[in-house]
Amino acid sequence: MTAAAALNDHLRQISAMGRVAGLLGWDMETQMPRRGAAQRAEEAGAVARALHALEVDPALAEAADAAEAAGADPVTAVQVAEARRIHGRATRVPAALAAALAATTAEAQTIWEQARAARRFADFAPALDRVLRLKRDEAECLAREAVDGYDALLDEHEPGMTAAAAAGLFAALRPGLVELRARLTDGGGAAPRLEGHFPKEQQIALSRRIAGALGYDWEAGRIDLAVHPSCSGTFGDVRITTRIDEADPLGSIYSTIHEVGHALYEQGLDPETGLTPAGQFASMGVHESQSRLYENQIGRSRAFAEWLYPLLVETFGPLSLDSPDALFRAVNRVETGFIRTEADEVHYNLHIMLRFDLERALIAGDLDVDGLEAAWNDRFEADFGIRPPDAAMGVLQDVHWSVGAFGYFPTYTFGNVYAATLDAALRTDVPDLDSRVATGDFAPALAWLRPRIHRRGRMLPPARLIAEAAGREARPEALVAALKAKFEPLYRP
């Protein structure tokens, strides 16, 4: 066995153990009986210990050194760098801490679901406090010279990104978004709503139909219901979840489209490297660019409304909306609301900025769990002019902190900026994209993304990957300009 093959073998074992952990998480969200939470926490801890042992094994570092010494080709060079990154992070985190994090977050997710249903933050606060203390410990272990704890957590989701750089991006975005929101919401233009009763089974059937049309491979995936929509798995086993509100089918439709965007990325990775670090997704920001591109730039386009409208009528019968144009306006309604996942494109990134600031304060110790709900409500009222009526509409709406995903939220905005950049290039290269989408032909979009994003895996840093794919750097100003071009005509008095 060559040095490169030995390194790949070790890396594939790490990847396989990570996928086992992911399957435990998927089962917990979709199938696990409620009384199974305690033993699932123990199981998650055991898997975390096994994964940590593979990552800290000196053989991993030795294999990386041997592969590099043998003369690394570009793929092997990435494998070597990723092996050292994995080994370096793992050796700074004790096995007991890794296991405690896995067990505690598995238990906390179930507690969060129950607290969210009861709309009481106090029911979740003790579990969140346990998670937060462990994440602070992890951040302290990972922090190095010139890298603070939050930067270390953010780097896990967006390699190379820092809190200072993210804050700069948000500062560049915020004025334009606030100004655009004020003009649109004060302009008097009212978008229609889709109203009625939309049975659960029909919604699920429609979600399956849309996913298949977008290119989702049903032989490599499945769809289930969960409290919080998600995508998990990779390559030949990529599972998505959605949620159903029988008064609002658009919520399920766009959650499904969002998760399908993630799934298409995972299903489209290079089969030669897809189960090793070089073949994994480039970053969560790039991952979110795929979901947001499908959800917003394609899924909320006028052309998509032309295709979707007759499907809605076929599925549910006559609608309260009388035309594809009315549907287009409905899915692009700009309205201040409490829920991030239901926010329009103009408001969405303001939701992310709130979470970014709060979680930085939590990790730094400037904010504790007992003050979190009040801090959330005060900040929300300051930013949006309304105060959450209960915790489910406020601090309990997201799953992320219950599973320990501190540092993840900023990647949604990175993804929005990347998606706007990719969309502009896609439409230049495929000038008839809208006419194809209007007929339900989504193949050109996927064919464009496959070689430029999906197949390239982690061979390039995130910003460079996007720049090479689009032929231009991703800049926040481009997102604001794209939003103005889309929404100003819709809301012009």
How far apart (Å, rounded) are the C-alpha atoms in residues 484 and 325? 19
What share of the chain has pLDDT > 70, as a percent?
98
- Segment (H or E) for 238: strand 237-242
As a whole number of angstroms, the distance between CA 158 and CA 27 comes to 26
pLDDT over 60 (residue 146): no
Q: What average pLDDT does the segment 324-340 reach? A: 95
pLDDT tens digits, 149-208: 899 999 999 999 999 999 999 999 999 999 999 988 875 556 899 999 999 999 999 999
pLDDT digits (tens, 9 = 90+) for 215-224: 999 999 999 9
Q: What is the pLDDT of residue 227?
A: 85
Instruction: Give the per-residue pLDDT at 403.
Output: 95
- pLDDT, position 187: 57
CA atoms within 13 A on the CB side of 396: 26
Concerning whether 288 is annotated as a catalytic residue, the answer is no
CA dist., res. 328 & res. 303, Å (int): 9
Catalytic residue among 259, 288, 295, 345: 259
Summarised one tens digit per residue, pLDDT across range 446-488 is: 999 999 999 999 999 999 999 999 999 999 999 999 999 999 9
- Do the Cβ atoms of 45 and 98 come closer than 8 Å? no
Instruction: Check pLDDT > 80 for residue 144.
Output: no
CA 228/CA 25 separation, integer angstroms: 12
- CA distance linking residue 48 with residue 82, whole number of Å: 19
* pLDDT tens track for 26-55: 998 899 998 898 999 999 999 999 999 999
Domain residue spans of the chain: 1-92, 109-493
- Is the pLDDT reported for residue 331 higher than 60? yes
Residue the block writes with tokens 């009222």: 381
For the segment 342-357, the average pLDDT, to the nearest whole number, is: 96
pLDDT computed for residue 189 by the predictor: 58
- 109-493 carries CATH number 3.40.190.10: no
Query: pTM here?
Result: 0.94
What is the reported pLDDT for 197?
97
Q: What is the DSSP string of 105-169?
A: HHHHHHHHHHHHHHT-HHHHHHHHHHHHHHHHHHHHHH-BTTB-HHHHHHHHHSTT--HHHHHHH
134 CB-contact burial (10 Å; exposed 0-12 / middle 13-18 / buried 19+): buried
Residues 6+ away with beta carbon under 8 Å from 133? none
Nearest to 87 by CA among 106, 59, 121, 68: 59
**Partners of 147 in beta bridges:** 144
**Rounded-to-10 torsion of CA 244, 18, 109, 406:** -100
- Pinpoint the alpha helices (H) of 365-409: 372-384
Instruction: Kindly report, residue by residue over 230-262, the tens digit of the pLDDT.
Output: 999 999 999 999 999 999 999 999 999 999 999
Burial 418-455 (b: 16+ CB within 10 A, else e): bbbbbbbbbeeeeeebeebbbebebeebeebbbebbbb
* 3-class DSSP assignment, residue 440: coil
Look at residue 394 in the predicted model and tell me its pLDDT: 98
Residue 253: what pLDDT?
97
Say which residue the tokens 């996928």 belong to: 19
Strands in 221-225's sheet, in edge-to-edge order, are: 221-225, 237-242, 230-234
Q: What is the mean pLDDT of the chain?
A: 95
Q: 230: Cβ–Cβ under 8 A, 6 or more apart, which residues? A: 26, 29, 240, 241, 259, 399
Tell me the longest C-alpha to C-alpha distance in the chain. 70
114: burial class by Cβ within 10 Å (0-12, 13-18, 19+)? Answer: middle
Q: Look at residue 190 in the predicted model and tell me its pLDDT.
A: 65
Q: What is the mean pLDDT of residues 67-72?
A: 88
Average pLDDT over every residue of 395-407: 97
Confidence of residue 72 (pLDDT cuts 50, 70, 90): confident
Nearest to 48 by CA among 115, 98, 109, 111: 98
